[in-house]
């Protein structure tokens, strides 16, 4: 192991380089616990939200989980109006698919604020 400032050898676990006095920081632990455990802005885990979106996305359940109650209500009302017509169901199905892709493709920072009001 070498000092990142002066390049002199240092011991494993050493806090300061003895040659130049540079503070040696330990290697940072990865920011998240993993893809499935990445939390949203209100604490919902990404894996759970992704699964709920896949199966119940047309009802807007994932929006409620992420804290976006307005759009969740809109999706729910559009889906419930599809009792008479099939077209609203197609709209909410496409909408849920786009939301699913956003959830799966977002990095940790983007996911934490995804669908935030």
- Kindly state whether residue 100 falls inside one of the protein's structural domains: yes
Question: What's the confidence (pLDDT) of residue 61?
Answer: 93
Helical H segments across the chain, by residue range: 46-56, 61-66, 69-80, 87-105, 108-113
Question: What's the confidence (pLDDT) of residue 94?
Answer: 94
Question: What's the confidence (pLDDT) of residue 105?
Answer: 92
Indicate if the pLDDT at residue 38 is higher than 90.
Answer: no
Please choose, from the candidates 116, 114, 105, the residue with its C-alpha nearest in 3D space to the C-alpha of residue 35. Answer: 105
Residues 51 and 21 in one domain: no
- Kindly state whether residue 87 falls inside one of the protein's structural domains: yes
Average pLDDT, stretch 27-55? 80
Cα torsion 38, 44, 50, 51 to 10°: value is 120
Question: What's the confidence (pLDDT) of residue 117?
Answer: 59
Residues 3 and 54 in one domain: no
Range of the domain at 19: 1-29
Q: Which residues pair with 9 in a beta bridge?
A: 2
Question: What's the confidence (pLDDT) of residue 74?
Answer: 93
Indicate if the pLDDT at residue 31 is higher than 60.
Answer: no
Residues 53 and 15 in one domain: no
The count of structural domains within the chain is: 2
Residues 55 and 101 in one domain: yes
């Amino acid at each position: 192991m070498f000092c990142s400032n002066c390049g002199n050898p240092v011991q494993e676990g050493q806090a300061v380089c003895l040659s130049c006095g540079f503070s040696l920081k330990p290697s940072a632990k990865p920011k998240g616990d993993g893809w499935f455990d990445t939390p949203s802005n209100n604490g919902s885990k990404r894996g759970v939200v992704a699964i709920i979106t896949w199966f119940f996305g047309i009802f807007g359940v994932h929006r409620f989980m992420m804290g976006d109650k307005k759009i969740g209500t809109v999706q729910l009302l559009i889906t419930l109006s599809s009792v008479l017509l099939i077209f609203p169901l197609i709209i909410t199905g496409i909408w849920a698919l786009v939301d699913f892709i956003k959830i799966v493709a977002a990095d940790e920072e983007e996911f934490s604020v995804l669908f935030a009001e």
